[in-house]
Structure 1
């Protein structure tokens, strides 16, 4: 059945908070509202000021409400990949129904069996993603409900993250007066949304060059295999320009946008422009090549660090190459520089939706599209994580222009703050990656 209804995506980024409202009519997505507000409570993808983040969310939501003509109460929000871990899981149960027909409850129970594991106290399970089911030895089943069997097995992926990150995102959304329909792992949504079936199957790397951080995600065999986060992004390029040229941050951002190019070979030393220097009455002329060299130095550093992490798992040998996304990736010359550093085919993904043809909106559109594609089987397995007993039919989103959908999916939980240590992100990367991906290319 083609999906119908309204979905709202929320991307809480370092430089801005973006909201997109889309209406699905017989499976066709039409974007009817967009909100974009400057973010001041986020640093490197992590909430550092709840009040300021709440205000940014409210401003973005208000813009989207005005353009869409609806009142927004439910959102699908993206979670960053900071300290994200992915594990394989398996569960097996005996079918208890006297008729031996597999029901919703059996699917929920086999997911619960797959969740039995030890989780460190500072982490929590975000979600479980079913890959396939096995009924009495028959493998590769996507939806076992209604089938006859005595033994049901499930293979899936468990995603875990730091409690402090998950709690802070939820807290900000709820204090903004919204309910969370789905917490979507942003790199999972990104790879699932922008990659073709072939790219997901044979293997492709997606690099999201954001304002406050850079995230690399590897998709292979239609599964998210690996994520890497570098706490540097487009804002660091602006800071470098500001420091080297001794100009204000706002001036540096304007120079980057108006004259910037990440590939010096494409620029000229004869093209000059005035720069307001702090402490000097008159502007100083700076040539295009010099500005480009400043930009290149930072982006090259970001790409080299990403390449080192990807080389550890031989991800750049995958045939899909590298796809760039994110606002900083739209800077001229970035694709050329990336292709030179990574040594593989590189292309830039630009959304094709009218009015949103800018890589800065890629994440929020991906969150929305991914959430809209989630089926009933996923909702049942997710209920094993959340403890919900809601019927699958009630979990679907039913926005209309006249009525507001107000049923919460996630209940607020008690605060459980704990410092997310950035050093943990780097510690033991090689060993963890090699153990987990020893068979990635089999």
Structure 2
């Protein structure tokens, strides 16, 4: 088999990131990265189209130079915002003919589920198998190479996203001279942040970005629930800026160099000088003063995540909590979360050379998603060795079918070279038996109060009614600690 490279693109709020990777044993080998900081995107939405496009061009150029790979096709990562989740079922009949199941059969099942979801304002971006059944007898994780005479059944999760957000993101990438091969939601990507035992037992991933905190619960190898709140590291910086009357830039620098998320462990000896916005002389604060603000905002964010999990009746997290994203760079994040829950906690930092930063977790996981689906469907997507690609399907075909995304999916199908990959394939876990008729599960984004998210977080010494507030926060901490025991 020829070597193939996977290029993933993350259009994030703080920066645009790209990674070039390849399958390596049971993981991903990253051979090149690119990153461009920009404020053209906020909470998954493009604010300045030109700035975003230029950032994409610059990022891909950096990734091309560092990897030595000519990049013109990418997998696009989309955040868990304006997103709905559904469960679908489909069956392929064989009419008594003995049939060896292959990737094409699986692809047909998933594409049928995709085409069935036609909405005026929503688009299916990912359909992921939960489990398969062969001849209504064998519930399996991967049915390839098995023999069937009657049917192949799949129960799958369907992720839908706001069409306008998706179209603008895809258009911005294509205007940068790139082809979008496929789009993967972070709801699926984040499962690759977890270890095999964590995703089997039931683990929670919390990805804290600049303007968005995404989280998901994964159990028995698949996503069970995922959502986001429109709050992130920039809100912490805003709190510091307001509390100490300093500029956003100075607050961000202080946060990165001296910030600590756990007040009890922060230093009270180091001195940090902060310029004043009104022209007054600089003030001196300590890392403990900064931690006073940081801890309260971060704790509030964690509490909101816990409330959302509790609403979905997720109170047992046997696989533990994993924190990642750019804000996970803060010291004390693990200690703060450990103070709130009883399960094991870890901060995920990718171990791939050149991308050992938590903000790269999501885009690297997108590469893993591309590899996972390629193995399941038995095809390879990116050939950087000069092989001529087949003609692509005109995008008008997708529009005629009533689905914007169908055009992208068909384009990828036409460009792929179908061939069987040797080695292990991704294993999907068994779920409920087919005899159970699942309720049409549908989740919408958790409603975080955006006005409240921008409120100033006061310092402990400035709080009024301090005793009452502390008692409430202490009560909530005890409540969630008991829930996740």
Residues 101 and 362 (structure 1 numbering): CA distance in 2 closer, same or farther, change over 3 Å?
Answer: closer
The answer to whether the 8 A contact 1:93-1:113 is kept is no
The answer to whether the 8 A contact 1:16-1:38 is kept is yes
The answer to whether the 8 A contact 1:6-1:23 is kept is yes
Q: Which ranges of structure 2 fall in alignment gaps of 5 or more residues?
A: 405-443, 449-485
Give the structure 2 partner of residue 12 of structure 1: 11
> Following TM superposition, by how much is the alpha carbon of 1:41 offset from its aligned partner in structure 2, in angstroms?
1.9
After superposing the two structures, state which structure 1 stretch, 280-289 or 236-245, moved more. Answer: 280-289
Give the structure 2 partner of residue 69 of structure 1: 68
Give the structure 1 partner of residue 36 of structure 2: 37
Residues 87 and 261 (structure 1 numbering): CA distance in 2 closer, same or farther, change over 3 Å?
Answer: same
Give the structure 2 partner of residue 154 of structure 1: 154
Q: Give the Cα–Cα distance (whole angstroms) in 1 for the partners of residues 392 and 309 of structure 2.
A: 36
The answer to whether the 8 A contact 1:324-1:349 is kept is yes
> Following TM superposition, by how much is the alpha carbon of 1:26 offset from its aligned partner in structure 2, in angstroms?
6.6
For residues 338-396 of structure 1, the C-alpha deviation after alignment (integer angstroms, 9 at most, x for no partner) is 12223432110111112322111111111112212323544xxxxxxxxxxxxx64x53
Give the structure 1 partner of residue 445 of structure 2: 425
> Following TM superposition, by how much is the alpha carbon of 1:113 offset from its aligned partner in structure 2, in angstroms?
5.0
Residues 40 and 65 (structure 1 numbering): CA distance in 2 closer, same or farther, change over 3 Å?
Answer: same
The answer to whether the 8 A contact 2:19-2:364 is kept is yes
Task: Answer yes or no: is 1:399 the counterpart of 2:398.
Answer: no
Give the structure 1 partner of residue 233 of structure 2: 234
The answer to whether the 8 A contact 1:4-1:27 is kept is no
The answer to whether the 8 A contact 1:179-1:406 is kept is no
> Following TM superposition, by how much is the alpha carbon of 1:316 offset from its aligned partner in structure 2, in angstroms?
4.1
Q: Give the Cα–Cα distance (whole angstroms) in 1 for the partners of residues 26 and 261 of structure 2.
A: 39
> Following TM superposition, by how much is the alpha carbon of 1:313 offset from its aligned partner in structure 2, in angstroms?
2.5
Q: Superposed, which structure 2 residues align to 1:103-142 within 5 Å?
A: 106-111=105-110, 114-115=113-114, 119-141=118-140, 142=142
- What secondary structure does 2:268 align onto? coil
> Following TM superposition, by how much is the alpha carbon of 1:279 offset from its aligned partner in structure 2, in angstroms?
2.5
Q: Give the Cα–Cα distance (whole angstroms) in 2 for the partners of residues 39 and 410 of structure 1.
A: 33
Q: Give the Cα–Cα distance (whole angstroms) in 1 for the partners of residues 357 and 34 of structure 2.
A: 14
Give the structure 1 partner of residue 324 of structure 2: 325
The answer to whether the 8 A contact 1:273-1:286 is kept is yes
Give the structure 2 partner of residue 280 of structure 1: 279
Q: Give the Cα–Cα distance (whole angstroms) in 1 for the partners of residues 328 and 181 of structure 2.
A: 30
Q: Give the Cα–Cα distance (whole angstroms) in 2 for the partners of residues 63 and 299 of structure 1.
A: 33
Give the structure 2 partner of residue 300 of structure 1: 299
Give the structure 1 partner of residue 433 of structure 2: none
For residues 288-342 of structure 1, the C-alpha deviation after alignment (integer angstroms, 9 at most, x for no partner) is 2211111112111111111111122343412012100001011001111112223
Q: Which ranges of structure 1 fall in alignment gaps of 5 or more residues?
A: 379-391, 417-423, 429-442
Q: Give the Cα–Cα distance (whole angstroms) in 2 for the partners of residues 102 and 23 of structure 1.
A: 27
Residues 411 and 243 (structure 1 numbering): CA distance in 2 closer, same or farther, change over 3 Å?
Answer: farther
Q: Give the Cα–Cα distance (whole angstroms) in 2 for the partners of residues 51 and 404 of structure 1.
A: 32
Q: Give the Cα–Cα distance (whole angstroms) in 1 for the partners of residues 306 and 84 of structure 2.
A: 20
The answer to whether the 8 A contact 2:101-2:143 is kept is no
Q: Give the Cα–Cα distance (whole angstroms) in 1 for the partners of residues 102 and 364 of structure 2.
A: 33
Q: Give the Cα–Cα distance (whole angstroms) in 1 for the partners of residues 167 and 220 of structure 2.
A: 31
Question: TM (normalized to structure 2)?
Answer: 0.76
Residues 36 and 411 (structure 1 numbering): CA distance in 2 closer, same or farther, change over 3 Å?
Answer: farther
- What secondary structure does 2:76 align onto? strand
The answer to whether the 8 A contact 2:95-2:149 is kept is no
The answer to whether the 8 A contact 2:129-2:154 is kept is yes
Q: Give the Cα–Cα distance (whole angstroms) in 2 for the partners of residues 376 and 259 of structure 1.
A: 44
> Following TM superposition, by how much is the alpha carbon of 1:131 offset from its aligned partner in structure 2, in angstroms?
3.2
Give the structure 2 partner of residue 173 of structure 1: 173
Q: Superposed, which structure 2 residues align to 1:226-265 within 5 Å?
A: 226-265=225-264
Residues 111 and 291 (structure 1 numbering): CA distance in 2 closer, same or farther, change over 3 Å?
Answer: closer
Give the structure 2 partner of residue 438 of structure 1: none
The answer to whether the 8 A contact 1:114-1:154 is kept is no
- What secondary structure does 1:375 align onto? helix
Residues 145 and 245 (structure 1 numbering): CA distance in 2 closer, same or farther, change over 3 Å?
Answer: same
Q: Give the Cα–Cα distance (whole angstroms) in 2 for the partners of residues 334 and 405 of structure 1.
A: 49
Give the structure 2 partner of residue 382 of structure 1: none
Residues 235 and 404 (structure 1 numbering): CA distance in 2 closer, same or farther, change over 3 Å?
Answer: farther
The answer to whether the 8 A contact 1:92-1:114 is kept is no
For residues 389-422 of structure 1, the C-alpha deviation after alignment (integer angstroms, 9 at most, x for no partner) is xxx64x532124xx48866878656698xxxxxx
Residues 93 and 32 (structure 1 numbering): CA distance in 2 closer, same or farther, change over 3 Å?
Answer: closer
Give the structure 1 partner of residue 80 of structure 2: 81
The answer to whether the 8 A contact 2:273-2:283 is kept is yes
Give the structure 1 partner of residue 219 of structure 2: 220
Q: Superposed, which structure 2 residues align to 1:172-191 within 5 Å?
A: 172-191=172-191
After superposing the two structures, state which structure 1 stretch, 99-108 or 146-155, moved more. Answer: 99-108
